[in-house]
Amino acid sequence: MSMEKDLSVTVAGVRFPNPVIAASGTYGFGQDYTDLYPLNKLGGISCKGTTLLPKDGNPAPRIAETPAGMLNSVGLQNPGVDAFISKYLPIAKKEGNVIIANVAGATLEDYKQAVQRLDTTDVDMIEVNISCPNVKQGGASWGVSCEGAAAVTKTVRSVTKKPLMLKLTPNVTNIVDIAKAAEAEGADCVSLINTLLGMRIDIKTRRPILKNNVGGFSGPAVFPVAVRMVWQVANAVNIDVVGMGGISTSEDAVEMMMAGAKAVQIGTAVFTDPYSPLKVIEGLKQYMIDNNLNSLEEITGTVQPW
């Protein structure tokens, strides 16, 4: 007989029935796995990154495999924020638990208008992807400088009271400074890590496998990098941290929470095993039973560093 356990956690004031969230870009808008299990099994879903206007993304191939991971260069293909709001959000809200919109932009105005439109919807949270290129700054991503991260945070904060989750890129020299910049401008929580920049080459053709040459690296191989960054950030900020990057088992999720995460997101593992989020949830429940926990928040940040 399985004991009833309350797996809920609260992130930036939003209650998740369990701490497992589908990571942006790996779970569409929540409709692609419902043949296997209902969306409401997950604590929440971060929807595919949307931009103000629809976007066609990068040319194919967009996917390359790596040892214990993968690269993607989807290039934020999405139907635009208006289609998200009218077509996808209502279904996700009806079928799922916490629904997080994920927005990206090439200019501050893009971010502002996209978030403004989301502000009047019933989306529960807005995750702001600052890993995308700032077109006015020669294409370096917003999230690689404190100024860029601060500017985006300030801009979106000025147009919404909805809980804001700033999603940090790991492709930086000091992620702590970036996280602090986002916190200072009013982010309610941060999520990390987005993908690491990577590359693979077909040695027969001397061509990169990705048509975009480079792409975002994710999956189990990045897990230790993600744990380290979550730990550093969680120690430095006073807002909640959502951890992701390579999580595929409940042990990984516990480890990420011990590093400082209140909730976790799972992306690439879903490609390997679509049931992996459910297995992580089951494993967390068992962990609570085995360790006599009343709340999973009891483990957040409990690593005892040497």
Partner 1 sequence: MPYFCDKYRILEREEIAKDIYSYVISCPEAAAYARAGQFVHIRAEGYTLRRPISICEIDKKKGTVRFVFEVRGGGTDKISQLTVDDYMDIILPLGNGFSVNEISDEKSIVVVGGGIGVPPMCGLAACYKNVKAIIGFRSKDRVILEEDLKRIGADVTVCTDDGSYGYNGVVTLPLEEELKKGKTAMVYACGPLPMLKAAVNTAKKYNVPCEVSLEERMACGVGACVGCACRINRNGENLVLRVCKDGPVFKGEEVVF
Ligand X SMILES: Cc1cc2nc3c(=O)[nH]c(=O)nc-3n(C[C@H](O)[C@H](O)[C@H](O)COP(=O)(O)O)c2cc1C
The residues that touch partner 1, with contacts defined as CB under 8 A, are: 25-28, 32-33, 35-36, 48, 56-66, 68-70, 72, 74, 77-78, 209, 219-220, 268, 270-275
132 is catalytic: yes
Q: Binding of ligand X at residue 215 (CB under 6 A)?
A: no
Q: Binding of ligand X at residue 44 (CB under 6 A)?
A: no
The only residue of 7, 23, 230, 241 in contact with ligand X, by rule CB under 6 A: 23
Residue 14's CB is within 10 A of a number of other CB atoms, namely: 20
- Least distance from C-beta 182 to ligand X, angstroms? 14
Q: Binding of ligand X at residue 243 (CB under 6 A)?
A: no
Binding residues for ligand X, rule CB under 6 A, total 26
The only residue of 18, 19, 20, 26 in contact with ligand X, by rule CB under 6 A: 26
Let me know if 249 is exposed, middle or buried by CB neighbors in 10 A (0-12, 13-18, 19+).
middle
The only residue of 11, 21, 52, 74 in contact with ligand X, by rule CB under 6 A: 74
Tell me the C-alpha distance between 35 and 274, whole Å: 11
Tell me the C-alpha distance between 40 and 42, whole Å: 5
Inter-CA distances, 13 with 53, 98, 162, 165, 259, Å: 30, 12, 10, 12, 20
Task: Give buried/exposed letters for 62-78 (b at 16+ CB in 10 A, else e).
Answer: bebebeebbbbbbbbeb
Tell me the C-alpha distance between 44 and 18, whole Å: 8
Binding mask 180-209 for ligand X (x = CB under 6 A): --------------xx--------------
Token reading at 34: 């419902």
- Which entry of ligand X, partner 1, none binds 270, CB below 5 to 8 A by partner kind? partner 1
Q: Assess contact for 243 and 267: CB atoms under 8 A.
A: no
Peptide bond before residue 61 is cis, with ω within 30 degrees of 0 = yes
Q: Which is nearer to partner 1, 278 or 303 (CB)?
A: 278
- Which entry of ligand X, partner 1, none binds 129, CB below 5 to 8 A by partner kind? ligand X
Q: Binding of ligand X at residue 155 (CB under 6 A)?
A: no
Q: Assess contact for 129 and 103: CB atoms under 8 A.
A: yes
- Which entry of ligand X, partner 1, none binds 53, CB below 5 to 8 A by partner kind? none
User: Which residues lie near ligand X (CB under 6 A)?
Assistant: 23-26, 48-49, 72, 74, 76, 102, 129, 167, 194-195, 216, 218-219, 222, 244-247, 266-269
